[in-house]
């Protein structure tokens, strides 16, 4: 966990910002608490026009990544931004970085000067998870080949679901998922501490295969930037892009960057930090890294910093942990909305838990 808490684990976007915006229904008066991770969700949430976003992470490297992205959005035009970040090809990212550096705080400038290779390679594809996805996409491409193109070119959802069933959802795919569902693989191959909290492999295998089946019937994979990363390993300007990188949205986000504050903190700290109060919480899948005891401690921190009626959006990945009996009465889950958003969430691998909070 110590290594995981100081390296770049996430650098792209593995969640669907449209889901967050639909779940949180932000207003111009809202103060939002958002877990930083790759910085994608804080930037996406600016499209909801909130008054303020406070992004927190216990990993200083992830917060530095958000500072870097904010500086790049400020300093670069739209074309240069896609080159610098790694979506468009470029041989001069280090030159572009010189234009970004003046917008960085001094400590952040030094942090990134020590990581020139990461900048030169394109920050978008440089995280621990992005390397895993790239490796997985390479292996899938070797085995499935042309069927990936068929999947992404399906004319209808019915055709896409049929291609998935005929050419992907088979014994080989389920066997690969079974390996990915084992704790040792997550902890010792990926280096992902959340592996300690995985359910038994059979349950994880059933969950993941079911989520991909659901996705194949509910939206086109070609319209999902995360599906593109999973199956093709990289994004280009011609593929699906997350909200904050879509051409129509970049100028809007650029105008609102000063609404983001960044702090090193965890959810459980919120009751003792003067960061709130908050009207909305974008919580990602924090339960993936929690025992039941720690999970409830995080919720106590959230409730301590929440205004009455605050909205929340939580993602459930592999560890389907639920609030304990002491916490549950203060969390009003909107099950119909969560179910609807789960079906259409273009990040494929999550269930959505959302609703409102009633702090004690």
Indicate whether 40 pLDDT > 90: yes
For residue 52, what are the CA distances in angstroms to 70, 251, 258, 260? 15, 18, 9, 6
The encoded tokens of residue 249 equal: 């949205």
Indicate whether 1 pLDDT > 60: no
Task: Count each helix (H run) and each strand (E run) in the chain, helices first.
Answer: 17, 7
Q: Quick one: pLDDT at residue 26? A: 98
Q: Quick one: pLDDT at residue 5? A: 57
Q: Quick one: pLDDT at residue 194? A: 73
Of 73-82, 160-169, 198-207, 307-316, where does mean pLDDT reach its minimum? 198-207
For residue 138, what are the CA distances in angstroms to 132, 186, 221, 236, 351? 10, 19, 17, 16, 27
Mean pLDDT across 332-345 = 97
Over the Cα atoms of the chain, what is R_g? 20
Mean pLDDT across 322-348 = 96
> In this structure, what DSSP letter does residue 58 have?
S
Q: Give the helix, strand, coil percentages of the chain, each rounded to 5.
A: 55, 10, 30
Q: How confident is the model at residue 3 (pLDDT cuts 50, 70, 90)?
A: low
**Which residues lie below 8 Å from residue 116, measured CB to CB, with a gap of 6+?**
94, 97
CA–CA separation, 306 vs 357, rounded Å? Answer: 7
Indicate whether 141 pLDDT > 80: yes
Which long-range contacts link 199-202 to residues 24+ away (Cβ below 8 Å)? 199/318, 199/319, 199/320, 202/178
The pair phi, psi for residue 56, each rounded to 5°, is -125, 150
Mean pLDDT across 348-352 = 95
Indicate whether 158 pLDDT > 60: yes
Indicate whether 58 pLDDT > 70: yes
Mean pLDDT across 151-166 = 97
Mean pLDDT across 172-176 = 82
Indicate whether 17 pLDDT > 70: yes
For 260-295, the pLDDT digits (tens) are 999 999 999 998 999 989 999 999 999 988 888 999
Cα torsion 295, 342, 42, 9 to 10°: value is 60
Q: Quick one: pLDDT at residue 206? A: 87
CA–CA separation, 30 vs 53, rounded Å? Answer: 8
CA–CA separation, 54 vs 259, rounded Å? Answer: 8
Indicate whether 212 pLDDT > 90: yes
Indicate whether 193 pLDDT > 90: no
Mean pLDDT across 83-112 = 97
- Render the burial of 323-343: b for 16+ CB within 10 Å, e for the rest: beeebeebbebbeebbeebbe
Percent of the chain with pLDDT over 70: 98
Indicate whether 124 pLDDT > 60: yes
Mean pLDDT across 177-194 = 75
Of 4-8, 76-80, 164-168, 253-257, where does mean pLDDT reach its minimum? 4-8
Indicate whether 56 pLDDT > 80: yes
CA–CA separation, 334 vs 314, rounded Å? Answer: 12
For 240-250, the pLDDT digits (tens) are 999 999 999 99
- Greatest alpha-carbon pair distance for the chain in Å reads 56
CA–CA separation, 100 vs 236, rounded Å? Answer: 21
Is the pLDDT higher at 210 or at 202? 210
DSSP collapsed to 3 states, 127-175: CHHHHHHHHHHHHHHHHHCHHHHHHHCCCCHHHHHHHHHHHCCCHHHHH
Q: What pTM value is reported for the model?
A: 0.94
Tell me the average pLDDT of the chain: 93
Q: Quick one: pLDDT at residue 122? A: 96
CA–CA separation, 134 vs 156, rounded Å? Answer: 27
CA–CA separation, 207 vs 83, rounded Å? Answer: 37
């Amino acid at each position: 966990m110590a290594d995981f808490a100081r390296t770049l684990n996430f650098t792209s976007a593995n969640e669907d910002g449209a889901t967050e915006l639909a779940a949180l229904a932000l207003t111009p008066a809202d103060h939002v608490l958002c877990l930083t991770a790759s910085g994608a969700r804080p930037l996406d949430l600016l499209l909801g026009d909130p008054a303020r976003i406070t992004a927190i992470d216990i990993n200083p490297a992830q917060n530095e990544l958000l500072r870097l992205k904010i500086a790049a959005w400020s300093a670069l035009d739209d074309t240069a931004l896609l080159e610098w970040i790694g979506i468009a090809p470029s041989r001069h990212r280090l030159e572009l970085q010189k234009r970004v550096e003046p917008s960085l705080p001094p400590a952040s400038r030094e942090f990134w000067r020590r990581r020139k290779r990461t900048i030169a390679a394109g920050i978008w594809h440089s995280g621990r998870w992005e390397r895993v996805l790239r490796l997985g996409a390479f292996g899938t491409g070797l085995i499935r080949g042309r069927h990936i193109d068929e999947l992404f070119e399906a004319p209808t959802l019915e055709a896409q679901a049929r291609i998935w069933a005929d050419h992907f959802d088979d014994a080989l795919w389920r066997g690969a998922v079974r390996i990915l569902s084992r704790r040792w693989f997550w902890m010792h191959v990926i280096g992902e501490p959340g592996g300690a909290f995985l359910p038994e492999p059979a349950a994880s295998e059933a969950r993941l295969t079911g989520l991909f089946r659901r996705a194949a019937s509910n939206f086109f994979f070609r319209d999902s930037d995360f599906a593109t990363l999973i199956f093709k390993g990289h994004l280009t300007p011609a593929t699906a892009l997350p909200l904050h990188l879509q051409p129509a949205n970049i100028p809007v986000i650029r105008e609102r960057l000063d609404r983001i504050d960044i702090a090193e903190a965890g959810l459980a700290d919120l009751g003792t930090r003067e960061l709130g109060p908050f009207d909305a919480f974008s919580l990602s899948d924090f339960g993936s890294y929690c025992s039941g005891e720690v999970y409830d401690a995080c919720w106590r921190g959230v409730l301590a910093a929440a205004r009455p009626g605050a909205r929340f959006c939580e993602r459930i990945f592999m560890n389907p942990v639920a609030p304990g009996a002491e916490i549950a009465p203060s969390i009003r889950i909107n099950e119909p909305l969560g179910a609807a958003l789960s079906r259409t969430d273009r990040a494929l691998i999550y269930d959505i838990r959302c609703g409102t909070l009633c702090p004690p």
